[in-house]
A and B are shown apart, each in its own frame.
Chain A
């Protein structure tokens, strides 16, 4: 039985191709000169270069965290990486019609058509290729409502006051080793600004693609929702198959002001490495949201199926009274994948609420760790947290680890944590087979059921994608 389960999770990686395109690249290695090089390429103002340099100087004094995360890997050689790579053709921030057809073809192959005729209805896309944004769809239409959706580089040029106000306000440059690295060398990313009271009429989406060999991707996303604003943002990622490990060290900052809602969904499908554990992306990401205003809400949903190593803890600082933080996660490890992921919910304001639902599936020799912190500070009267953390193991060579940290300093709060392990039982499979389903469908159905609480949080298009990724069909809407 477990061999069939493993073959189910062992689907072929479809996005492992390389686009042959000429690139403008920084030389290998990291120094103040490289930081200046990137800043100059992006025509950045002085204050931003200073911010980067300060981050770089801080980073030099930090060490890569190896003790506490439950992941094992050789330290990254930061001098053997390239920190900037951009396709040579195409003007920056030009219309999508001017984009190199090879790039458009790449995104089409990835299922993300960008050309005017074919763009996805109801979803605006910012396409990031290595270090730069290739183009952003529906930009003009969104601008009609005052919504800014553009590449980070463009935002620095066009809306410097907004960028300057919020950059680093949630994840300071000194936050951690990878965040500091990102602050020094980040190349592009997406910027979203939703004005007061505006409900964004469509899903906003960024698609990240790493292409060039020996290149890291260091994008930075900043989303600001003004009072009463509402936005749902999606993120997808793929990379070619390569024998060496590639580094992806992104930073995402969300700011929700009074009564605003930000929903951030990720389907992470970076290349995971081959069956021997060679290659694959090191996905070392810092994601954090601040519910700055009262009654605001930030919701993270992630489906993590790719990457050789995933290290990320999308978190929420619940500062505004009555604010709400959510984290819904499915993390699948197979082969030699390792994931150490979870969340932090920091309750500062009164009557703040947080919900954590984590589903970890381990197969092959994969190691899956949930690591979470729920912290209730003395002033967070009436704070509530509910955490549910379930693991499923498939086979006997993998592992599931749960490390929840609960730190409560207010007596009127209530924190509940529940965790369990589930298995795909022989009896369950037999029962489904007796009703006419074959083994593969039976397992799909059980895994799907296991992840249901998370999938239902995803926007429809992403839910389909996510379930496909798990090799399972969408549960119908009957009943």
Chain B
């Protein structure tokens, strides 16, 4: 398999961004070499112990088709939160489609463009950030992405600019994507004192297709910046999705993430946040809904390297049928990071007797004056609450839906953008009505 991938990398060298700058080509070559050495992680690798990546490692994946023919704006309407006017970069099977994208007026200096375009027009910015936050050494999947990416979204908000409208990076797969792999690479840079909201969506127009998405997103949050980052993964339920988001935060910055996973046969998302200075605030919310044989795997890591920072994490899951969820949350607190206040919670609701959960909330603390807690629960709906609802006349099935929705709504409520929050609410309710 790794050979196939590397061939694909070579093929790419002559394709979309052959004019890539030298520094990037060097990074890509190193990443390709690294992957050639490591290959895919094995089952003894602690980081991947519970993640069945066999179908990816053993699969033969072709490069995604280059034509985005046939996709219309109408088809994309359900994915735009009722706001088609928002700045939206649309990628069909991994390739940027200018025709389907929406460019609204932006404050001066703001960049919202495809990666290929940004490499041409904002080379200096990309050289500073691209591949610098999420190095290829971090994981074999990141190495593959680094060696192979063609496209992705770039958002750059200059210092002290308030981006009052969200930016949406929308990755769409079509029936033509079957058997192919894409490696989207996104970069979000919010400079000092700037404020922005970015949504990253992975959706499908061909629900039965099997393909592999391997995105990497790098985020740089400057001093005093505010960034809401919402990630919605609704891939085909036969697809494989292995994504990584790496965030670097500077002093006084506020980063809030919401990560929703509903799609894919196997969905893995790593969210790593490094707190590079004092007085940083990080909020991480997650929700996963699984059914059938789906596996949803969330790995989060937060690195408290400096004093007086706060991190708050809540990941919740609702599991039905024979699906499985994996949660692994790490909180590292270095000796310098005094007065750290970190809280991490993972809660799982099992709706079926055959659903399974592996959760491992993990603390590694080297400073003494800190407040760190974590908690994990696995269980089913509270029978007392169910009975209470039924005794007030709510039928059992409706009571279950109501309580399950309430369980999920607790994290959805943390999404700051009302249209996104409402859409997530609707998605959850819709899922509950058709059976989770």
On A, residues with C-beta under 8 Å from B are: 2, 68, 376, 378, 391, 393-421, 423
Chain A residues positioned under 8 Å from B355 (CB to CB): 411
Task: List the A side residues contacting B380 at CB < 8 Å.
Answer: 411-412, 414
Q: Which of B237-245, B267-275, B365-373 contacts A (4 or more CB under 8 A)?
A: B365-373
Q: Does A395 contact B352, Cβ atoms closer than 8 Å? A: no
**A401 and B376 contact, Cβ closer than 8 Å, known pairs A396-B368, A408-B357:** no
In whole angstroms, how far apart are the Cα atoms of A396 and B355 in the complex?
42
Distance between B76 CB and nearest chain A CB, rounded to angstroms:
37
Bitwise, B350-372 to A at CB < 8 A (1) or not (0) is: 11111111111111111111111
The answer to whether B365 and A410 touch across the interface, beta carbons within 8 angstroms, is: no
Chain B residues contacting A411 (CB-CB under 8 Å) are 350-355, 380
Cβ contacts under 8 Å, A394 to chain B: 368
Q: Which residue of A lies closest to B372 (CB)?
A: A421
Cβ contacts A to B, 18 pairs, < 8 Å:
A393-B367, A394-B368, A396-B335, A400-B366, A403-B360, A405-B358, A406-B358, A408-B348, A411-B352, A411-B354, A413-B379, A416-B376, A417-B376, A418-B373, A421-B363, A421-B371, A421-B372, A423-B369
**Residue of B335, B368, B371, B372 with most partner-chain A CB within 10 A:** B368
Bound-state CA distance A416–B380 (Å) is 12
Chain B nearest Cβ from A372, distance in angstroms: 10
Chain B residues with Cβ below 8 Å from A421 are 363, 365, 370-373
Separation in Å of the B296 CB from the closest CB of chain A?
15
CA A396 to CA B333, docked complex, whole Å: 11
B375 within 8 A of A: yes
Interface hits, B392-420 → A, CB 8 Å: none
What 8 A-B pairs have minimum CB-CB distances, sorted nearest first? A411-B350, A414-B379, A393-B368, A408-B378, A420-B373, A402-B363, A417-B376, A415-B378
B interface residue numbers (CB < 8 A to A)? 46, 335, 338, 348, 350-380
Q: Are B366's CB and A399's CB within 8 A?
A: yes
Complexed CA–CA distance, A11 and B386 (Å) = 55
* C-alpha spacing A165/B288, complex, angstroms: 48
Q: Taking CB as reference atom, which chain A residue is nearest B349?
A: A411
- Known contacts A410-B353, A411-B352, A420-B372: does B364 contact A399 (CB below 8 Å)? yes
Cross-chain contact B375 with A419 (CB below 8 angstroms): yes
Tell me whether chain B's interface is mostly helix, strand or loop, or mixed: strand
Whether the Cβ atoms of A401 and B365 lie closer than 8 Å is yes
Find chain B residues with CB under 8 A from A2 CB. Answer: 368
B369: chain A residues at CB < 8 Å are 423
Chain A residues contacting B373 (CB-CB under 8 Å) are 418-421
Tell me, in angstroms, the Cα distance from A408 to B355 when the chains sit together: 8
A333–chain B nearest beta-carbon distance, Å: 13
Q: Determine the residue in chain A with the shortest Cβ distance to B355.
A: A411
CA distance A376 to B353 in the complex (A): 12
Q: How far is the CB of B376 from chain A (nearest CB, A)?
A: 4
Q: Report the bound CA distance from A462 to B356 in whole Å.
A: 41
| Chain B positions within 8 Å of A415 at CB level | 376-379
Find chain A residues with CB under 8 A from B356 CB. 407-409
Known contacts: A411-B351, A412-B353. The answer to whether A406 contacts B365 by CB under 8 A is no
Q: Is the CB of B372 within 8 A of A404?
A: no
| Shortest distance between the CB of B291 and any CB in chain A (Å) | 14
Q: How many Å from the CB of B393 to the closest CB on chain A?
A: 26
B-side contacts of A409, CB under 8 Å: 356
Given A2-B368, A404-B360, 5 other A-B residues pairs in contact with their CB atoms under 8 A = A391-B365, A396-B368, A401-B363, A408-B358, A416-B375
If A405-B358, A412-B353, A416-B375 touch, does A399 touch B365 (CB 8 Å cutoff)? yes
A204 to B121, CA, bound (A): 79
B357 to chain A, nearest CB (A): 5
Measured between beta carbons, the chain B residues less than 8 angstroms from A401 are: 362-365
Residue in chain B with minimal CB distance to A401: B364
Do residues B379 and A419 form an inter-chain contact, with CB atoms below 8 A?
no
The smallest C-beta distance from B334 to any residue of chain A, in angstroms, reads 10
Residues of A contacting B359 with CB < 8 Å? 406
| Residue in contact with A406 in the complex, picked from B338, B360, B366, CB distance below 8 Å | B360
